[in-house]
Amino acid sequence: MKIAHLQGLIAAPFTPMHSNGSLHLELIEEYYHLLKSNGVTGAFICGSTGEGVSLTHTEKRAVAQAWANATLGDPDFKVMLFLGGTSIADCKELALYAQELGLYAISFTSPFYFKPSSVEKLAEVCQEVASVVPEMHFYYYHIPVLTGVNFAMYDLLKAIDGKVPNFAGIKYTHEDFMDYQSCLEFQSRKYDMLWGRDENMLAALSLGAKGAVGSTFNYAAPLYHDLIEAFDKNDLPKARALQMQSIEMIRLLGKYGGIATGKAYMKLVDLDCGMFRLPVRNMTDTQFELFKKDVEALNFSVFCSKMHA
């Protein structure tokens, strides 16, 4: 398999839910059009932002089906399905379903309850899952802050190279720039290294990152397009100012409780994706009103994603 190197912004969508916590699949077509109209080139579905670990196997299949339906006829928009990381059998079954739907890629993270004892064992697990769909791009999802598994990804590439033909690369959601650059340069830039920390995008661009997967691309894609353009034009003062704007926006996630704040941002771009499931804490109505004032102070309306006709 020829390894494609994706470029631009790939959103990590929220999974839309009704007020009772059930899936709101009817919203996904509108969600796709919002992303597409703001220059987003793909969707990494059912990941951390998409609450994949809080969805049942049946629900993940339903979400994947809805995204496949919404993007039918648009091969330029890449849908990547995160499989999970605890039940290998479930992941293999879901990978086969992703192939049946015609999705672009699958992704898998390290088992995080029974953790692999070595990077070689992690490579073996990746090989086990990837082997059931040898014609699909397979990405490892590196997010040690959530999995607790923090092997150097350079070592994973060394352990897996030549053994898994459809291993396309890594969604790298960590701050180890030495390891990230080592992975970028591995075997003459053989693998696709998708950056996963929106607040550090400028640093990743300086190392050679071309594609990124992020949650804030859902509601602030224009900001990152401007940042990339400024970097490409070598206008570093502007690029740094735009990155700082991104940081101030992301800082509000911490102020208002974490990952669920992203769905509050989505309400402000007129795509209400509901709330996060337990155990994630959501905002109260009072907090949401305070949040709106803080967002207004950022001039969010100037750089937020908008639905275009």
Give the residue numbers annotated as catalytic, written as ranges: 141, 171
Both tokens of 3, joined, read 């390894």
Distance between start and end Cα atoms, the chain: 38
- Reported as type and span, the H/E element at residue 192 is strand 192-195
For residue 253, the SS3 value is helix
CA–CA distance, 174 with 127 (Å, rounded to integer):
22
Torsion angle in degrees (nearest 10) through CA of 226, 229, 231, 236: -60
Angle at 41 between CA 37 and CA 46, to 5 degrees: 105
Instruction: Kindly state the DSSP code that residue 174 receives in the 8-state scheme.
Output: S
CA–CA distance, 305 with 50 (Å, rounded to integer):
18
For residue 25, the SS3 value is helix
- Give me the helices (H) in the chain, please: 28-37, 57-70, 88-101, 119-130, 144-147, 153-160, 177-185, 201-207, 217-232, 236-255, 261-268, 285-297, 300-303
